[in-house]
A = this chain, B = another copy of it.
Amino acid sequence: MISVDYTFVLKDVIGENGLEKIDIGKYENDVSKAIDTIIEDHEKGKLSFLNLPSDFSPVQEIESFVRDMPFSYENIIIVGIGGSSLGIQAIYQALLPYYNNIFGKPKVFFLENVDPETIYEFFENIEIEKSIAVVITKSGSTAETMSQFMILKDVFDKKFKEKASERIIVITDPEKGDLLKIAKKEGFKTFAIPQNVGGRFSVLTPVGLLPAELAGIPSRKILEGAESVLNKIKNKDIFKNPAALVAVILLEYFKRGRNIYVMFPYSSKLYLLADWFRQLWAESLGKRYDKSGKEIKWGQTPVKALGAVDQHSQVQLYMEGPDDKIFGFLEVKNKRKDMKIPEILEEYSSTSYLRGHKISALIDSEKKGTELALAKNGKPSFTYTFEKISPESIGEFFIMMEMQTAIAGEILNLDTYNQPGVELGKKLTYAFLGREGFDLSAVRDILTKVKK
């Protein structure tokens, strides 16, 4: 349901900044080896993300859990951050009406950032008695999530008394972590994030699927969409595998000085997919060392832009600025809803040409216009075309991006699945909060200089 068109990266079309097919084709061995490694790691059980779309048992559990819920609810509160939030936000934006269904029910809310002002305002206003909460952290110990969970638990306990435990659902590691222990003690229903699936690769686990189902989105179809494309993204022919193709295009352009990858959906509904992807690409591939210990400081910065909005903000820079970007558009072929611009105001030149057009014609024309103008300026771009926004196509996109990232990581010979760079900041935060066993010794040198 999603196709990739790379016409506007080709040298024949955009000139000297373009690629020849051989520039892509030369990665054939790299891609082949990468795919072998990824599949092998899955068969060995070292990795699991690619196995998720073929296993419908979590979906069955989710479906029956939601079907059998003993009460109704009007608010879903998601407590989570990063990989425990971004995928859910993307699913809701794409598949619920308007923004987070604010005109309808159930409404969905996120306790994500530890922003004191918004958290206060949330608890001041939310109708707790109509709410359920889903608390998500793979480690079971994320500071932002645990602190908000503690506030929420306290509020739920006071409101629901002994019934509070029915209203809190936990998604975490199946075997370890404090949140799992708490859940067992309190009697919260728990769902598992399988071993060997990292947070940023977890959207096709209950992390994404349970919130979807709770909001009335058929989680099974998200998984079916992902499953439908499995063979395609394992294909070793780069030109027949969109995950490999885009991985190679992005790697090649990074080598050529394009350290910024702009993901540019021409659809408000797909904007947060770019935000979800931003974590996946940045955290997986932004690495100081490769697997052999060599310093590489690799990292292509993913930037999200929104069409047509950012034509009025970023396109001036994209057109005329440095040759440091590669653009990936997302477009939607068949819109689920559309509106016609009414046949009024015929006497003005800036309205008469719009009359009678559909809004879809306007946004489609803007995308084509921007793409061609960039091409004319020698700026490379490619396009993902969604046949339609649906649970299936969103699922397909998730697994395609995950495979693309995994392939890129193998070709770069780095550890795609760790995040050693965030440890120091976390430890310092703990130290500032007085957590036992943590101190500021790692930055004592800097602190001394600052105080001078």
Contacts and interface: CB of A to CB of B under 8 A. Distances in A.
B420 A313 contact: no
B365 A178 contact: no
Interface stretch (A204-212, A244-252, A333-341, A401-409): A333-341
A339 B151 contact: yes
B301 A154 contact: no
Contacts of A144: 308, 312, 362
A357 B119 CA distance: 14
Contact of A368 (B119, B267, B432, B434): B432
Interface string A315-338: 111111111110000000001111
A259 interface: yes
A56 interface: no
A37 interface: no
Q: A335, A426, A446: which has the most chain B beta carbons within 10 Å?
A: A446
A429 interface: yes
Nearest to A254: B322
A322 B348 contact: no
Identical copies of this chain, number:
2
Contacts of A361: 433
A230 interface: no
Contacts of A114: 308, 359, 362-363, 366
A288 B260 CA distance: 18
A287 interface: yes
Interface stretch (A44-52, A60-68, A95-103): A95-103
A147 B325 contact: no
Interface string A345-366: 1001111011101111111111
A299 B320 contact: yes
A321 B349 contact: no
Contact of A260 (B121, B286, B301): B301
B120 A103 contact: no
A353 B438 CA distance: 11
A81 interface: yes
A337 B114 CA distance: 12
Contacts of A12: 449
B143 A425 contact: no
Interface string A156-173: 000000000000000000
A312 to B, nearest CB: 3
A207 to B, nearest CB: 13
Given A373-B428, A425-B311, A433-B354, A297 B316 contact: no
A345 B298 contact: no
B425 A335 contact: no
26 contacts: A13-B449, A103-B126, A113-B308, A113-B363, A115-B268, A117-B338, A119-B359, A141-B349, A144-B362, A150-B341, A282-B314, A282-B321, A283-B314, A283-B316, A299-B321, A301-B321, A303-B303, A311-B425, A316-B420, A320-B420, A353-B430, A357-B433, A369-B432, A372-B428, A372-B440, A376-B443
